[in-house]
A and B are shown apart, each in its own frame.
Chain A
Amino acid sequence: MNRFANPTRFMRISAAVLPAIGWLTALLLVVGLVLALFVAPPDYQQGESVRIMFIHVPAAWMALFVYANLALASAAGLIWRHPLAEIAAQEAAPLGAAFTLVCLVTGSLWGQPMWGTWWVWDARLTSVLVMFFLYLGYIALVHAFDDPTRGARAGAILAMVGVVNLPIIKFSVDWWNTLHQPASVFRLGGPTIVLSMLLPLLVMAIAFTILFFWLWLVRIRSAIVARKLRSLRLAGADDFAQLDASGGKPAGSYPS
């Protein structure tokens, strides 16, 4: 844990792997999209509309997966008080919100032609909407405090409270009568999708996962650089204040 938690080492390792992850994301997305749009067959019931699945289902998985990461990073931040964990949690949230939004909108676009409605308040759809608002609430809460440490702590507690929503989303289709159908891939007895549709789905899911890790690294690095910038500027301002007080001129040449 502590081996990776050192920001300097994190910056060095992440800089080395970042380009490779970026290109891997692009490659997997291209392969996944070709499989989803050209290779996968139409469904016997849903026809070509089934192609929405290759976006909707991976986005839904990512919504859950990112939330699990957000909660884990929040827990690590709360327990070990490590700034890198706090940054990681905060930078995961916008990505999770984006995947959840994609899941909700594509689900709506799929529901209208197949079910006959854009939206219903069944347990599955409602619990996913709750997760979307958890992401938004987390982002708002973190930024609601003047003191960033307190904001991070309050956000972490909200993130961990929201964990109870994960099993509710996953099992909502088994516990209650829902309009949404039960799981097709992660279920007892194996997937109920033929291989020619399962394969594009899995490639898209891996592509989305790598996309998430790539953007997460970019955002964490960006946040660390931003913190460094802030402390540099603060240090510069301190110099000014000291030199002003002593009536001298600053040693470095600052642009006014």
Chain B
Amino acid sequence: MENLTHYFAMGGYAAFVWPAYAVALIVLGGMALQSLRAYWRNLRQLETLQQERPGRRRGAR
């Protein structure tokens, strides 16, 4: 337990080290989440559209 407290204190720099890692997680993780969700949403919509109009798959262009 004491080891853990000592570790998280980061030699007195906890207030700088942990926010730095948190910012990286939030910004990069947020970017990943946003990219993946938009991608999955587009894939789903394409599937729905193609199911609704089975004959139109080739006729789109």
Contacts and interface: CB of A to CB of B under 8 A. Distances in A.
Direct contact of A and B (CB under 8 A): yes
Interface of A: 37, 42, 47-49, 51-52, 55-56, 59, 94-95, 98-99, 101-102, 105-106, 109-110, 112-113, 211, 215, 218-219, 221-222, 225-226, 228-229, 231-233, 235-236, 251-255
Interface string B29-50: 0111001101100110110011
A112 B17 CA distance: 11
Contacts of B21: 37, 55
Interface of B: 10-13, 16-17, 19-21, 23-24, 27-28, 30-32, 35-36, 38-39, 42-43, 45-46, 49-50, 52-53, 55-56, 59-61
A221 B24 contact: no
A50 to B, nearest CB: 9
Contact of A229 (B12, B32, B36, B45): B45
Contacts of B52: 252-255
Given A51-B10, A102-B23, A236 B35 contact: no
B46 A228 contact: yes
A56 B31 CA distance: 17
A197 B49 CA distance: 52
Nearest to A29: B28
Nearest to A215: B35
Contacts of B55: 251-252
Contacts of A231: 60-61
A52 B31 contact: no
A59 B50 CA distance: 40
A226 B42 contact: yes
A226 B16 CA distance: 41
Contacts of A52: 16-17, 20
Most central of B10, B23, B28 by chain A CB within 10 Å:
B28
Contacts of A109: 16-17, 19-20, 23
A229 B24 contact: no
A229 B49 contact: yes
Closest 3 CB pairs of A and B: A48-B11, A222-B39, A49-B13
A165 B53 CA distance: 50
